[in-house]
Every structure is written in structure tokens, then in C-alpha cells.
Amino acid sequence: DTEVTQTPKHLVMGMTNKKSLKCEQHMGHRAMYWYKQKAKKPPELMFVYSYEKLSINESVPSRFSPECPNSSLLNLHLHALQPEDSALYLCASSEIIAAIGELFFGEGSRLTVL
Amino acid sequence: DAKTTQPPSMDCAEGRAANLPCNHSTISGNEYVYWYRQIHSQGPQYIIHGLKNNETNEMASLIITEDRKSSTLILPHATLRDTAVYYCIVRLNYGGSQGNLIFGKGTKLSVKP
């Protein structure tokens, strides 16, 4: 199984809602990543987890709250988002942080904030 | 900031080789060159990576110049399904921000019948 599974594929939420994005991998990878991609732009790194601990936060606003409850699961909790937060949110994993070789990406969760 | 420069777009005829250039003139000795592609509305897909030597796999070949200041990704027989944005990325192989995958603007490759 070389898949990174993201749910939901599409999410529409209001600015006062609380929602979560979920990412799962069963490759035994110990590094997991969240990227944000706006339309027609490259992916931007948001968070990096290594062995279930937050390793890197690229100055992401606190309305985005990541969580890594176990080595296979990565969540992104969303609260009080703004319309400009509408984007494709991509999850990725690798064997260890900054490992030589492939980062495996999921298909993304497309978020629309109304 | 991305450390690579790529042309914003390229066209290629179906069945012909697609040669995608990348400049990375400030690359350091322990930075690898990675290539990913992203087909519309999908997650990025790993293609190939290399340090100094040329590399080949089932998808593509990576040619790195001797001074390592530039590289070329070669898709030997492009198909319509190869239409995508191709990202050339340099990264270190250890922790910290420099070890993470930082995407530049990429090249939009259009394969035409």
C-alpha cells in the first residue's frame, strides 16, 4: 500500500465553522506534511511532523491547528477561517523527515470558505 | 525561496522526447535535484532524483551537468497523459527547513497530438 488517503475530497465551510481534514498512510512513514496550494500556484509547506511531534511550523496562522494522534494519522483542524484560506490542502509522507527519496502525496482536500 | 529557475511553459508533440530544463546555479555539494509533476487537480507525483550522476527510471531520465548548475528531465516518448506542471526542486538530505520539499513555479508542459 503506497497510498496517502485524504478525506474529505471537498469541503465547504462558513467562517464560523469548525471542521477537520484527515490524512492517513499505512506505509510505516514517520514524517508527515501539510501543504497548501492556491489556484495556479505551487504547493506551500505548512507543517512537518516527525515521529508524531511537530517539527516545523512555517508561520501558519493559529486558525490552522495540526494534530498527529499516531504514526499513521495526521489531522488539520480548521476554525474561524477566512475566504482567502480557500485552497487545495495536500498531505504527504516520507520514511523519515528530509529522507532521500520520495515524498508520497495524497490527492488533496479542496476547501472552500464562504 | 525556491532555488531553481524553469521556463514557465513548454509544448511537446506526442511521441517525441520532452526535455525540461532547470537552472540551479547556487546548488551546494550536498543538495539533491528532485523532479515532481502535478497533473491538474491531483497531488504531486515523484518522478526522479539525483545528486551528481545521471539517473534513469521507468518514467524518465535526469541529466545533471558536471558543474551541477543545471539539469534536464527527459521524458523519452511523451504522451497526452504527461501534460502536467513539472517541478524541479533542490533539497538537502537532513532535517530543518532546507531538508524539506520547497516548490518553485514549475514548467507547464503541454503534450499535443
Tell how far CA A74 is from the center of its chain. Answer: 7
What are the chain B neighbours of A33 within 8 Å (beta carbons)? 100-101
pLDDT band (50, 70, 90) for residue B98: low
Residue B67 to chain A, least CA–CA distance (Å): 21
pLDDT tens digits for A11-32? 999 998 999 999 999 999 999 9
Region B6-34: mean pLDDT is 94
Residue A96 to chain B, least CA–CA distance (Å): 9
Task: Please tell me the predicted confidence (pLDDT) of residue B56.
Answer: 97
**What is the share, in percent, of chain A residues with pLDDT greater than 70?**
98
**What is the share, in percent, of chain B residues with pLDDT greater than 70?**
92
Candidates A102, A107, A109, A110, partner chain B, best to mutate (most B CBs within 10 A): A102
Q: pLDDT below 50 — which residues of chain A? A: none
What are the chain A neighbours of B103 within 8 Å (beta carbons)? 42-44
Find out whether B3 and B87 touch, Cβ atoms under 8 Å.
Answer: no
C-alpha to C-alpha distances, B23 to A100, A106, B105, nearest whole angstrom? 21, 28, 13
Region B22-37: mean pLDDT is 92
Find out whether A20 and A75 touch, Cβ atoms under 8 Å.
Answer: yes
Task: Please tell me the predicted confidence (pLDDT) of residue B31.
Answer: 87
| Partner B contacted by A88 (CB < 8 A) | yes
Output the nine-digit C-alpha cell for B92. 538537502
